[in-house]
Every structure is written in C-alpha cells, then in structure tokens.
Amino acid sequence: MMRKDHAMDLSPDDILQILQGYQRTAILCTGIELGIFEHLAGGAAEAAAIAAATHADERGTRILLEALAAMGLLEVKGKTYHLTPVADAFLVRSRPAYLGDIARILVNDRFWEGFRRLPEAVQKGGAVFPDHAETPGHPFWENFARYSAATAGPAAEGLAGILAPWAEARRPLEVLDVACGTGLYGFTLAQRQPHARVWSLDWPNVLAITQTYAQRLGVLDRVQFIEGDAFDAPLGGPYDLAILSHIFHHFSEERSTELLRHIAGALKPDGRVAIHDFVYGEEPPTENPFPRLFSVLMLIWTREGESYPLSVYQRMLAATGFTSPVVHELAHIPSRILIADRAPHLRPS
C-alpha cells in the first residue's frame, strides 16, 4: 500500500511569502523613498503621471505600483492608482500617524548585513559586529532619536494617561527618563503635569536631538540633561519616577537587574518605575509574534539582549526592591507598560 504524501494536502503559500519578506520590505521602502504615497495623497493618478512627478522611469514605476497594490497599500481602478486607507493613514508624511521614518531605523545597512549573517549570530549567541547597541556614542542612536517619534509619541501619551492620577498628587514631580532618545516619555508627562520636572539621560550625541523635542513640546525650561551611560552615570535624585522605555531588551537578565538596581538607588522611598517594552506572557508565539521576532533583531544587534516574558520582569523587580508590576496594554502598539512601586519593606538582593 502506497503511503500518501501529506504535502499534497498542504499549501506552501505561507513559506513562500516569508521567503519574499525582503522583497516586500524593499518595495515598501522604495515607495517611501520615491514619494509615491505623498503624490497619491492628492488623488488617484496613472503610472505615467506618478513617474513624471517622482522623476522615475514609467515602466519601473508601473511595476512598483502594481507590487504596492499586491501588498494592499494601493488600489487599482482602470489605469489609475490610489491609496488604501491604511497607506493614507500611516505612509503620507503630513499625516499625524506617519510611520515612514521608522524605515530609517529598522532598514539600514547594518541590520541588512546582520540578518545575512544570522546563522553566525545564532551560533555565536550575539552580535557579530564589533560595533553594536552598547558601543558608546553609536550614531544609530542619533537616527533612533530623530525618527522614532511616530511610535514613541503614542506610547508616551499612553504612559502619561496611565500615570495621571498618581502624577497629579505628586508635588513636586521629579522624573528621570533613562536612555531617553526622543525624550517624549518624560516630556509628554511634563506637558500634562505642569509641576513636573524631567532629567533626561542619554549619550551626548543623542541629547542634542532630545533637546529639540523638549523645545517643540514647550517644556525645555523644566528639563535637565544627564550625559553618559545608564549603568554608571551619576543619576542625581532622588526622583519620584524613573521611566525605562525599550531598554531591557538590549541586555541579559543579569545586566538588566544590575541597571534596575542602579535606578532604584536614585528613587525616593515611595518612588516608582515605569517600564515600557515588548513584554509577552504565557501565550504561544503564534498569538503574540512581535516580541519573538524582535528578539532576532536583538540577536544580531546586541551581545545578550532579547525580549523577555513578564515572569522575568517580575523576578527582576522583586530582586531590586519593587512590588509586582501592574501591566497595562497599549492600543495598536505591540508593547506593554509595567508600573511598579518601591517597596521599603523589601531589601534589594
């Protein structure tokens, strides 16, 4: 009796789409770079008009437009192309939710090369380049500060809302924003709480950019800047609140605990920490894929970093004298905010 080939009952479409992932990334980034979405924000147009407006070849433009339509970012009616709602909301630079600049962070020569060398990173267990996320003054962090406002802004608004009842009762409210990048987490809270003052910590080359956001949000007169490495910079204080956004996934659990202990020492006895990161629970990877996929980026970009489950954060917080965290979800953002208070009766181990 012949054994049935079970592959005949399965579709390879998912695997083929995964193998085309780099093509899809290149197609989207090309559309952003050539200004396709800006041009179509004014209304539907044919390939020839779009090619002329973007100074591109007509045939090449048509092929790109068809590919963008195949990816669900454009719709085709006859010979004309127009934006889908999702492209109009997130890929037109003038829109408040514009995400195109994120491509400047996630799609760069170093990451492309790193993913090409992913087998080597898996075998080594970490970054394969001598310059990585912990390299002092790395220019990547300047780009991160310049172009991450589209994602930092909504998360900062969410954090400010979560903290509002507590923050309104803390007078004065003194805030330390660790590895602040844009600074938007502290600055947005300061906008909402006129009595708040913020100390923004990051590398000197990053803080030059951070300052521009403080000016833009009108809080520069209530901000001070601390230059240096989060692990050993003199922090000052004591502070009511420390904000740590997208930091711990760059380090091992041991190093992250060391950093959290350093931060705890700069807080008031009744202070608290707000942690924002790609935190996952006990759900299977298929139900919450983003943190697991993000860990692969950390494998090529850091020496020991990865996304961590909630259980690791609970363990780190307990070891450094904090209460068990309260977990807050953020709408349409694949990250969570954890709020934990210092517990004076608990001594850091």
Please tell me whether residues 225 and 301 are part of one structural domain: yes
Mean pLDDT of the chain: 94
Please tell me whether residues 231 and 313 are part of one structural domain: yes
Please tell me whether residues 178 and 295 are part of one structural domain: yes
Read off the tokens for 341: 């208070």
Identify the band that residue 296 occupies on the pLDDT scale cut at 50, 70 and 90. Answer: very high
The residue segments making up the domain with residue 47 are: 6-99
Beta-sheet strands, E only, within 298-347: 326-329, 336-341
Please tell me whether residues 235 and 313 are part of one structural domain: yes
Confidence (pLDDT) at 9: 80
297 C-beta neighbours (distance < 10 Å), count: 18
Q: Tell me the per-residue pLDDT of 73-90, one tens digit each, with 9 for 90 and over.
A: 999 999 999 999 999 999
Domain boundary among 47, 76, 99: 99
Please tell me whether residues 199 and 56 are part of one structural domain: no
Query: Mean pLDDT throughout 318-347?
Result: 90
Domain boundary among 99, 120, 150: 99
Determine, yes or no, domain membership for 252: yes
Confidence (pLDDT) at 349: 46
Determine, yes or no, domain membership for 80: yes
Q: Tell me the per-residue pLDDT of 229-261, one tens digit each, with 9 for 90 and over.
A: 999 999 999 999 999 999 999 999 999 999 999
Give strand pairing partners of 45: 81
Please tell me whether residues 208 and 274 are part of one structural domain: yes
Determine, yes or no, domain membership for 34: yes
SS3 183: coil
DSSP-H helix ranges across the chain? 13-19, 21-33, 36-40, 47-53, 58-70, 85-90, 102-106, 109-116, 118-124, 140-147, 149-168, 184-192, 204-216, 253-264, 289-301, 310-319
SS3 159: helix
Q: Tell me the per-residue pLDDT of 106-160, one tens digit each, with 9 for 90 and over.
A: 998 889 999 999 999 999 999 999 999 999 889 999 999 999 999 999 999 999 9
Please tell me whether residues 146 and 60 are part of one structural domain: no
Please tell me whether residues 172 and 71 are part of one structural domain: no
Q: Tell me the per-residue pLDDT of 37-58, one tens digit each, with 9 for 90 and over.
A: 999 999 999 999 999 999 999 9
Determine, yes or no, domain membership for 105: no
CATH number of the CATH domain containing 322 = 3.40.50.150
Q: Say whether the peptide bond before residue 139 is cis (omega within 30 degrees of 0).
A: no
Determine, yes or no, domain membership for 287: yes
CATH number of the CATH domain containing 87 = 1.10.10.10
Determine, yes or no, domain membership for 10: yes
Determine, yes or no, domain membership for 29: yes
Whether pLDDT at 346 is above 80: no
13 C-beta neighbours (distance < 10 Å), count: 8
Please tell me whether residues 64 and 186 are part of one structural domain: no
Read off the tokens for 218: 């009108």
- d(C-alpha 310, C-alpha 312), whole Å: 5
Domain boundary among 99, 121, 150: 99
Please tell me whether residues 12 and 85 are part of one structural domain: yes
Read off the tokens for 256: 């992250």
- Report DSSP state, residue 286: G
Q: What pTM was computed for the model? A: 0.92
Q: Among 231, 247, 243, which residue's Cα sits nearest to residue 307?
A: 247
Please tell me whether residues 20 and 84 are part of one structural domain: yes
Please tell me whether residues 172 and 231 are part of one structural domain: yes
The phi and psi torsions of 131 (rounded to 5 degrees) equal -100, 130
Query: How many domains are contained in the chain?
Result: 2
Determine, yes or no, domain membership for 77: yes
Half-sphere exposure of 46 (CA within 13 A, CB side): 5
